[in-house]
A and B are shown apart, each in its own frame.
Chain A
Amino acid sequence: MSATSTLVSSSLTSSNTERELVAFRMGEQEYCVDIQSVLEIRGWAPATPLPQSPSYVRGVINLRGTVLPIIDLGARLGLPVTPPSARHVIIVARIGLKTVGLLVEAVSDILTVGEELIQPTPDISCETVRAFVKGIIAIDGEMISLISLDGLLPEEIVQEAA
């Protein structure tokens, strides 16, 4: 009962001040994306590598008949590439008109966060961080970075989608 009321209250208020976010872990760091762009979360499956693709493109997998490209999110952000294991998770998300799989280590939580709790990204030199991290949230002494999915795909894709 209390769970229901929480849901109702969060959905009532999320339209103006609160956002629901999917939090996940990559390396030792916590990141999150807006739940509205997430379609589903599924286990890791071996991907078919693509030729002539950036190192963060893991290849393509079969998602119920659709060819789904897999982006190693950590590698995209410049973190060291870790070989995917059975524990890894694919977050199926929508970026523009395309559906892509984001490879992350593990999904940790679903958060409801007030807009005012999202702090601006500190000004650091790393370009990929500046490009993708759109804010920082502090919860229970932990720092979670909010990622924007726009521009995550290789250049040509963004141009095509635009």
Chain B
Amino acid sequence: MDPMEAIKATFFQECDELLGDLEAGLLTLETGDGDLETVNAVFRAVHSVKGGAGAFGLEPLVRFAHVFETTMDMVRSGALAPDPDVIKVLLRAADHLADHVSVAKGNDTALGGEDGLVAELEALSSGAGTGDAPVPSIAAAANDEPDFGFSPMMISIDDGPDEAPAGVPDWSVSFTPKDVMYRNANDALPLMRELTRLGPVVVSCDVDQVPLLDALDPLGAYLTWNVILTAPDVARERILDVFEFVDGDCLFSVEPVQAELPDLSFVLPDLEPLIPTAPDEPEPALLAEPALAPIDAAAPPAVAAAAPAAAAAAGAADAPSADGRASEAAAPTIRVDLDRVDRLIDLVGELVINQAMLAQRVMESGVARSSNIALGLDDLEQLTREIQDSVMAIRAQPVKSVFQRMPRLAREVAAMTGKRVRLVTEGEGTEVDKTVIERLAEPLTHMLRNSIDHGLETPEERRAVGKPEEGVVKLAAMHRSGRIVIEISDDGKGINRERVREIAIKRGLIEADASLSDEEIDNLIFAPGFSTAATISDVSGRGVGMDVVKRSIQALGGRITIVSKPGHGSTFTMSLPLTLAVLDGMVVTVGEQTLVVPITAIVESLQPKPGDIQALGPEGHVLSVRGAYVPLIDVSESMGWTSPDLTGPGVTLLVESGTGGLAALRVDAIQGQRQVVIKSLELNYQQVEGIAAATILGDGRVALILDVDALISLRKRTAPPPSFQLAIAS
């Protein structure tokens, strides 16, 4: 990759994190739990996105971020109270900022509605000026600051002190990088360039500290940059912000000056030798008037103290950046290319397979279990497992990244349906593999929508049954026996079983006189074809039914169950694997081949008794399971290896397809359950119908992992009507 592209990619990665922080911060503020640190975090996020975008010349993004930042700055300085209405606008701005980033990435092309949003943001920042807030507005703050801070000092200046208070201040910025700044790969040029965004600048370089060549440390830093910035409307902290990234790695000061620009630049070289200058304080060299030197000595904190509003803002700006560093130091992280991690996971997978091969060979050679070599292998096995776990942990991420999108969704759905909702999240820190997280967002979104739209009652209905008007939807994640369990529960009305039953009968999913348990009725909402057309609304019923949710969960190797209590609400429970790189499988033998059936698809295993298997039609067979009949699929025949021999001994696995259909898979023998490393067939070959993927067994041979869904649909023509399947769906 082109180095610039690589840096840009890193920037976008950071953007994703920053945008996440931004939204999380705003949501915290919305709940009223936010403190000054939260406000600062939000401000920093916008500022950092803007700063990075500026470096890549993403003008539209920078422009919008700037407006956003200005408004956030008002909140930060206390001029704008973060009340819900303001936060709503800010949340939308955060969305729009994310859209901008997406456009910059090239993922999206169109951006609309920005003008309105910009107007709203600007209205917020200017509207606040008319309020009773201590600081009227940003621009005013900038102008006021020198009035507060410097007027008394100015009196001692011979040169035009009288105009000073009313005059337009310029800024004198002195910037002395330490060598550590260069070592951190920062450069003065981008900072200077950033200053030019604020207004016209005159930059001069002070080379006095540069030693003679033989004393020169090539890695040292000797230059001081003096900048006169003509930017009367710019607040001091805007200038400080420019240097935020190099804070601590340089000496810098920002002082207002009154002098004319040309004068200064002319006067400078002549005056320099006359002014006693401390090595670390080169500003006096820049400031023509010796009388100004005390201001420098007073240093920024003293200046800030004179201007209370500015002090709050500047102090706030400094403190969090220090905190930010502290928390980074507490949990150091590195950014790694995902491909490298994937390669590592692949290699560890091979290590696991090789270890298993080795163990099998050693056992086959008849070595005693207590021999040194067998004991050594045991140790190796433990070590391999630990390495595997650790490597898998690299890809693990807290589910927070998905959960934090949900509050916004909940609010939107609540607004659309006129319901009042409080979303409670638990276990956000629970970690799962990145790929699982990525594919979790869609089903979760849909289920949350459903919970609010279908589960919760309106405030009036809730009041009528004596419940608080505000409904509670809980989203919880936890680890349970090597899997992650995610629950979405609501305290709404529960599933209307009569209604579900009616719809199911109308759609031909069940017979009109079928007797179903409550649980079976609840599960009907997952049936394909169970459309929510009867309860369609703006929010759900967009053609995506719960069957799609169930299918996407099952595609992840997960299961979903529902428990509903009329009048008390429903709980959806998803149980998912922690990773998609390994799979819990039942290893079975079919003829000479070994196959793996995903455990998640298996309901139970059965040893059919004579007479349990019945022929149905010319070539179909069914298996009797406690009085009900399910289609029987001979795996060997499906694979095209042998013709069916249903008279011989064999075992059947009762499996459930993603669409809820049951079938029995006939195999020769079950070897046992084990974790297998999933290997792609498509990588070097192509998709094979009925096969989900491959794995490598302990003997080094490839075993195929069955795609139960595809196997069942392959045999659909011999399957009995759906009512049969549902009758035993318990």
**Chain B interface (Cβ < 8 Å from any Cβ of A):** 346-347, 349-350, 353, 593, 638-641, 679-691, 694, 696, 700-704
CB proximity of A149 to chain B, nearest CB, Å: 13
Known interface pairs A50-B691, A50-B704, A52-B689; A67-B350 also in contact (CB < 8 Å): no
Whether A100 contacts B702 by the Cβ 8 Å rule is no
Residues of B contacting A100 in the complex (Cβ-Cβ under 8 angstroms):
684-685
Whether B701 contacts A62 by the Cβ 8 Å rule is yes
CB proximity of B393 to chain A, nearest CB, Å: 21
Whether B691 contacts A51 by the Cβ 8 Å rule is yes
Query: Considering the chains assembled together, what is the distance between the CA atoms of A57 and B704 in angstroms?
Result: 15
A-B contact pairs, 12 of them (CB 8 A): A48-B694, A48-B702, A48-B704, A50-B691, A51-B640, A51-B691, A60-B685, A62-B696, A62-B700, A62-B702, A67-B685, A157-B686
Known interface pairs A49-B593, A51-B638, A51-B691; A69-B350 also in contact (CB < 8 Å): no
By CB atoms of chain B within 10 A, which of A61, A67, A153 has the most? A67
Q: A122 at the A/B interface (Cβ < 8 Å)?
A: no
Residues of A contacting B687 in the complex (Cβ-Cβ under 8 angstroms):
156
Residues of B contacting A99 in the complex (Cβ-Cβ under 8 angstroms):
684
CB proximity of B360 to chain A, nearest CB, Å: 14
Q: A43 at the A/B interface (Cβ < 8 Å)?
A: no
Whether A68 contacts B684 by the Cβ 8 Å rule is yes
Known interface pairs A51-B688, A68-B684, A99-B684; A60-B702 also in contact (CB < 8 Å): yes
Whether B640 contacts A52 by the Cβ 8 Å rule is yes
Query: Considering the chains assembled together, what is the distance between the CA atoms of A153 and B346 in angstroms?
Result: 25
Residues of B contacting A153 in the complex (Cβ-Cβ under 8 angstroms):
685-686
Q: A27 at the A/B interface (Cβ < 8 Å)?
A: no
- Measured CB to CB, the nearest residue on chain A to B680 is A67
Residues of A contacting B691 in the complex (Cβ-Cβ under 8 angstroms):
50-51
Residues of B contacting A49 in the complex (Cβ-Cβ under 8 angstroms):
593, 639, 641
**Chain A interface (Cβ < 8 Å from any Cβ of B):** 46-53, 57, 59-62, 64-69, 98-100, 153-154, 156-157, 160
Whether B689 contacts A48 by the Cβ 8 Å rule is no
Residues of A contacting B683 in the complex (Cβ-Cβ under 8 angstroms):
66-67, 98
Cβ 8 A contact of B349, one of A48, A60, A65, A160? A65
- Sorted nearest first, the 7 A-B pairs with minimum C-beta distance are A65-B350, A69-B685, A51-B639, A48-B702, A98-B684, A67-B694, A60-B702
Whether B685 contacts A98 by the Cβ 8 Å rule is yes
Whether B689 contacts A157 by the Cβ 8 Å rule is no
Residues of B contacting A69 in the complex (Cβ-Cβ under 8 angstroms):
684-685
Please give 15 more A-B residue pairs, beta carbons under 8 A apart, in addition to A49-B641, A67-B679, A99-B684: A46-B701, A48-B694, A48-B703, A49-B639, A50-B704, A51-B639, A61-B702, A62-B701, A62-B702, A65-B346, A65-B349, A98-B685, A100-B685, A156-B686, A157-B686
Whether B684 contacts A67 by the Cβ 8 Å rule is yes
Query: Considering the chains assembled together, what is the distance between the CA atoms of A52 and B690 in angstroms?
Result: 9
Residues of B contacting A47 in the complex (Cβ-Cβ under 8 angstroms):
702
CB proximity of B700 to chain A, nearest CB, Å: 5
Whether A67 contacts B690 by the Cβ 8 Å rule is no
Whether B689 contacts A51 by the Cβ 8 Å rule is yes
Query: Considering the chains assembled together, what is the distance between the CA atoms of A60 and B638 in angstroms?
Result: 18
CB proximity of B159 to chain A, nearest CB, Å: 74
- Measured CB to CB, the nearest residue on chain B to A95 is B684
Residues of B contacting A51 in the complex (Cβ-Cβ under 8 angstroms):
638-641, 688-691
Known interface pairs A50-B704, A65-B679; A157-B696 also in contact (CB < 8 Å): no
Query: Considering the chains assembled together, what is the distance between the CA atoms of A99 and B353 in angstroms?
Result: 21
Cβ 8 A contact of A160, one of B347, B639, B641, B686? B686
CB proximity of B423 to chain A, nearest CB, Å: 43
Residues of A contacting B694 in the complex (Cβ-Cβ under 8 angstroms):
48, 60, 67
Residues of B contacting A53 in the complex (Cβ-Cβ under 8 angstroms):
688
- Measured CB to CB, the nearest residue on chain B to A63 is B684
Query: Considering the chains assembled together, what is the distance between the CA atoms of A94 and B213 in angstroms?
Result: 58
CB proximity of A34 to chain B, nearest CB, Å: 19
CB proximity of B73 to chain A, nearest CB, Å: 51
